Each structure stands twice: as structure tokens, then as C-alpha cells.
A and B are shown apart, each in its own frame.
Chain A
């Protein structure tokens, strides 16, 4: 069953310097119980997608396409329905969650607030549920009486996860949920998210720049560059045998310890990710691509079949597919 279906999503920001395309035609589906990882560097449009899904973009942004959440288009919803869908249909675990909690309100009250606002239960039951939620994320229910400053970074991130679960959504969007955490705590939080997702059969959209984290927790991966998906497919082959040269460069930035290919030979791409206001022509990756050829600056690649259930937006993949058929 498809929980989220994003179709031809385009987001353009209006600025004084003219319209800036941040997302340029992105489509993907997430089924119940599936985790899709969306990876890409700063400015590739991944956070814009998060905000577009729940219509959290600033007024200057124009969104076209469809965002179907359990079959309903979020983009055309009435305001009242939208308010109901946020939290109960889809909820977000934001990055830097430690600053998202209200410092002068007890943890339990903050959890209960979301439940009461959505009229799921009265204050008293909501507080009991807050305790249950804390237990679910591995914190003793008595911590509901704590203020945020009494918790460590990892504990606050656990509270944020509990909050995302408060109204039993069908989709959880995790936007860089472990970025500010220490390695050991990151592993603990990832394990928790993974367990909850399995146990509750949640659909999850996991967003980060750290490809190695995505490979661990995701069933499928989508790699973004300059507002488009350039490669997508099951996570293991996408990471291990990338079909797109950009994915290959990104994967090489997360070396496997013990692999002698990486030893004393850091590999990276020349240049920088493009700014959304100056996206190169043709394949937008061509100025940085180590294997670009004469067609790349002019032809815009589609997503072509690349084997192992993968698709990649690279003319070389197109040519290989032609040779094969």
C-alpha cells in the first residue's frame, strides 16, 4: 500500500533576483513499512521537499505537481483538513531537535499538547499517553516531569521522536535526525528509529547528507543533485555499485575502514554543488563529472533503467541500455 506518492513535484522560490527553481520535477513513492532515504548535498532541494510535503514553505514559493498522502493531495487540501493531516497523517523529526523543545515547559506537557490539540483525548489521558510514548523511545515515564535542560542531547532527540509518534501518523519524515549527535548516540537513535519503524509498520522518509547512515537504515535510496533525483533504487546496490558518477563520488566520501582503495587516497569532485540560481545546462552534473562527453552539456537525461531495480539519470546508462537491447 502506498502511503506517500510524490508526482512531478516542482518548487520555485520567488526572490528579488527572479525565480529560483529548488526542486525540478521529483517523483517517488513510499509504501507502508518502507524506508526511503533521500540523500544530497546542501542546496540540492531535499529540505524543500520535506517542507513541500506538509506545505510548510514560505508564501513566496510556488509548488506544482502532486503530493498524495494516503491518496489525498496535500497541495490542494483545505486549511482545516491540512491542520488535521499534519501530525496524524505525517509528522516530522527535524534536525537540531534539541532547540525545537520549549525550554520552559515540561516534556510531558509538550507531548500532551499535540494530542489534545488534535482532540484525540483529554488532558488527563494525554498525559498518560505521553508517559507511554516516552517508554516507547526508551526513557522512563517519570522523565515526563523533566524540563528540556535536564535531558542530554540524545534524550532530547528521543523526546522529539516520541512527539512525532504522538498522533500515530502513517508517515514519519526524519530530516537529518542524527546530525548534531555524537557517534555512539547516533547509533543508539538510529537503532531506535529502525525498531519503531518495524514494530509500527511506519512509512518513513529519511533525509541526510550522510550516505553511510542511509545505507544502514533504508530499503531504497534516492540521490538528489541540483533539484532532481539522479539515481534511485534498492540501497545496497546503489551504494555498492553506483550507476551515476555523482553517486559514486558521494559514496567515496564515506570510506569503508579496512578497504585499501581509500587508504591515503581521498577522492572527491572538483568544483562545488551548483547554486539553484545557476544550474548548468543539459545534465546539471556535467561540469563536475569525470566521465562527461560531448552530449552532456546539451541533453537533459531522463531516469534510465540501470539494472538491479535501479534507475539513473546519466547518458552513459542510457547508452549501456541501448547496447544491451
Chain B
């Protein structure tokens, strides 16, 4: 059984999944210049998401981490139905997402997104009431739980920490602080009573002292209403603060996924280790162990996609363990190396997930 199949088998065996992603591929055609087109050259295809399996359980907070260009935002947008996959399947509560308008519309009510920059996400010429009520109107909801539109908006604002809600009805976004604007965006998502919230860098545009309160709010929504969350972030400290599980993406694939404690304190994949290494911390500057910038999704390397930058290959550790040839030539999927903790690494697999003394 291949690693990928193993990962998938156990991923779908999870208890109570609310969202399942199977073998998802999303690619973008590059543009061809006129000259190249005449010369018969093909446009480079950027494979932003290149075979992702992922399960989001009910009421779980899953952090999706990686460098820019790793495909994490494309994956989130595809899950939202904002991008079309080339291949693969997304299942919501066991039902595959179809192109049927009715099903898609219902899905888009139950899966809501919170964008990074609330200033850009809110219409500057709309009052807070209009912004929050817009979702209800689009979905034709005039009352729910016996509550009128106004009561629903008030409830969502109060649940987002904007109290008393009536005070915010006629206010415009520019009159609010950054933290309050993000609360309005969250209220706009909450008013539709979603099962899932996808949050793309939900606090990175906010002031440091305000971030904690917004994260508290998001965790509270999970605890009070059982909303599952997919939090896209480059900040592993944030993942440590709020996530139950962490998935690390590299060049369109998830290369490691597992419980947050395991992934962040006992990482198995060399890329996760490298990411953890550069998290700024007291005690002086540690030299970044990876050189160069985030790689190009139009040119995914053969074999393990991380091998050209992998410190274990460069240092010869992979060679001594007898896996270097496989690193260079054999693509691999996720392998369960510890209970619930998967990594796509030949070396980690050869070591059977034993904790090896790291170089730090």
C-alpha cells in the first residue's frame, strides 16, 4: 500500500468529519507571450494545489501553515468554491459538492470565510447593519429561530463582542478600529450560522495587543457553537495558540499533519523543522537553515518535492540512512508515523518516526 493511500484510508476513517477533501488538484495556466506561442512553446502550468487529502472534523480548529506560494490560500479558496479544482473531490457532511446551484448555494451559507484585511472586506459605504445583514438577504433568510432580520443581526454582533449591538447599526467601517472591523466581518459570517469558518490570516493585519481578543473570540465560537475552523496562517506561534491540529504545506502538498503539540514540538518533516527554526525567539538569531526563496510551483522537483532544499539531503543524513536515492527519485504521500501524525518524508519513514536528536 502506498503512503498516499494509507494516509487517505485513515483520513476518511476519522470520527465525524464535516469536510473531506480527496486528491484535490488546482492549477493555473501561465500566459504565453506572442513569440513563444508562434514558436509552439507551451505555457508553464503552475500547480498551486497538487494532490491534497484533508479532513476537517466537527468543532475542530485546523491550522494550515506554510510559506507564501505553497498553495495554502488556493486550497482554502477552492474549499470555499471560489476556485475550480482540476481534479479531486470535496465532500461536505458526506455529500460531494456538485455543480447544482441549489446545493452550492446551501453550501455557501454553511461555510463562511473571514479574510485577512477587514478594511478591504467591508464596503466603506455600507453601514455595519447593512454589511452584516447582506448575507441574510442574499440567502433570502427573513427569519430564523423565530427571530427577525434585525434580531439576527443584533445576535451576531453581540456574539462577536460588539455590545450593545444597536450602537453599531448605523456606524460606518471607518469609524471603527481594526479589531472592531474584524469583529464585524466575523459577525457577517456568524449571522448565517455556519458549520465551518475558513479564516485566512485572521489577525495578521491587526495590532499585536488586539490579536489575542480576536483569537479568543474565534476559539469561543468553536466552544459555544461547535463551528469547525480552517485557519490559514504563516505564523506557527498562532497555530500553537489556537489549533487542535496543524497541517504544513509545501509546493501544493501537505507534507506533515497531526496534533498541534506533536507537529510543533516533535516535528517529523525537515521542512516543518526548518519553519520552526526561523520563528523569532529570545536568545539570539538562529541562522536560517534553508537558503533561497519559496520555490516555483511551475517547476515541481522530481522525487520528494523538498529534496533540493532539504538539509537532511545536503548534510548527507539521508545518504547515510540509505534513502537518498528515493528522496531524489520517488514521490511520496503522507505516511502515518505516530498515531494521527503523518509526514511525507522518506528519512522519517526509514527511522519509523523515532525522535532523532535534531541539530539544535
B-contacting residues of A (Cβ < 8 Å)?
41-42, 152-154, 182-188, 190-191, 194, 209-213, 215-217, 235-236, 239-240, 246, 249-250, 252-258, 262-270, 272-273, 288
Assuming the contacts A257-B240, A257-B279, asked whether A184 and B208 have C-beta atoms less than 8 A apart, the reply is no
- Once the chains bind, are B67 and A216 in contact (CB under 8 Å)? no
Contact of A267 among B212, B282, B293 (CB under 8 A): B212
Assess A257 versus B278: contact at CB under 8 Å? Given A184-B288, A184-B293, A263-B240: no
Residues on the B chain within 8 Å of A213, using CB: 280
CA distance A211 to B209 in the complex (A): 11
Q: Which chain B residues in 254-308 approach chain A with CB under 8 Å?
A: 260-261, 264-265, 274-288, 290-291, 293-294
Docked CA distance A240–B284 (Å): 13
Residues of A within 8 Å of B178, CB to CB, are 42, 272
Tell me which residues from 232 to 263 in chain B have a Cβ below 8 Å from any Cβ of chain A. 234, 236-237, 240-242, 260-261
In angstroms, Cα B241 to Cα A12, docked, is 39
CB distance from B155 to the nearest CB of A (A): 21
Give the contacting residue for B264; candidates A152, A190, A257; CB below 8 A.
A257
Among B31-39, B109-117, B213-221, B317-325, the stretch that binds chain A is B213-221
A182: which B residues are within 8 A, CB to CB?
67-68, 234, 293-294
Residues A41 and B208 in contact, CB atoms below 8 Å apart:
yes
State the main secondary structure of chain B at its contact with A: helix
With a cutoff of 8 Å between Cβ atoms, the chain B residues found around residue A190 in the complex are 280, 285
Chain A minimum-CB-distance residue to B277: A187
A269 touches B284 (CB 8 A): no
In contact, B215 and A257 (Cβ under 8 angstroms): no
Q: Are A209 and B208 closer than 8 Å at their CB atoms? A: yes
Partner pick for A211 among B179, B208, B242, CB 8 A cutoff: B208
Contacts of B177 in A (CB 8 A): 272
**Smallest CB gap from A44: residue in B:** B207
Size of the B side of the interface (Cβ < 8 Å), in residues, is 46
* Cα distance, A252 to B68, chains bound together (Å): 25
| In the complex, residue of chain B having the shortest beta-carbon distance to the beta carbon of A260 | B261
A-B contact pairs, 30 of them (CB 8 A): A41-B208, A182-B234, A183-B234, A184-B278, A184-B294, A187-B278, A187-B286, A188-B288, A190-B280, A191-B287, A212-B279, A212-B280, A236-B282, A250-B208, A254-B208, A254-B280, A256-B237, A257-B236, A257-B276, A257-B279, A258-B240, A258-B265, A263-B260, A263-B261, A265-B241, A266-B219, A266-B241, A270-B213, A272-B178, A288-B209
Nearest CB of chain B from residue A214's CB, rounded to whole Å: 9
Residues of B within 8 A of A246 (CB): 209
Closest to A254 in B: B237
Q: How far is the CA of A258 from the CA of B283 in the complex (A)?
A: 15
Residue pair A216, B282 in contact (C-beta under 8 Å): yes
The answer on a CB contact under 8 Å between B240 and A255 is yes
A212 contacts across to B, CB distance below 8 A: 237, 279-282
Most B Cβ at <10 Å: residue of A191, A209, A264, A273: A264
Residues in chain B near residue A210, CB distance under 8 A: 208, 280
- Tell me which of A209, A236, A255 has the highest count of chain B C-beta atoms within 10 A of its own C-beta: A255
Distance in angstroms between the alpha carbons of A41 and B274 in the assembled complex: 29
Partner of B213, one of A152, A216, A269: A269
Cα separation A270 to B282 with both chains bound (whole Å): 26
Is B265 within 8 A of A266, CB to CB? no
20 further A-B contacts with Cβ under 8 Å, apart from A256-B237, A257-B265, A272-B177, are A41-B208, A152-B293, A153-B293, A182-B234, A183-B275, A183-B279, A215-B280, A216-B282, A236-B282, A253-B211, A257-B240, A257-B279, A263-B261, A266-B212, A266-B241, A269-B209, A269-B213, A272-B180, A272-B210, A273-B207
**9 closest Cβ pairs, A-B complex:** A268-B212, A266-B215, A187-B288, A187-B278, A253-B208, A212-B280, A272-B177, A41-B207, A268-B213
Establish whether residues A262 and B208, one from each chain, have CB atoms under 8 Å apart when the complex forms: no
Query: Which residues in B have their C-beta under 8 angstroms from that of A262?
Result: 237, 240-241
In the bound complex, what is the Cα–Cα distance between A186 and B275 (angstroms)? 12
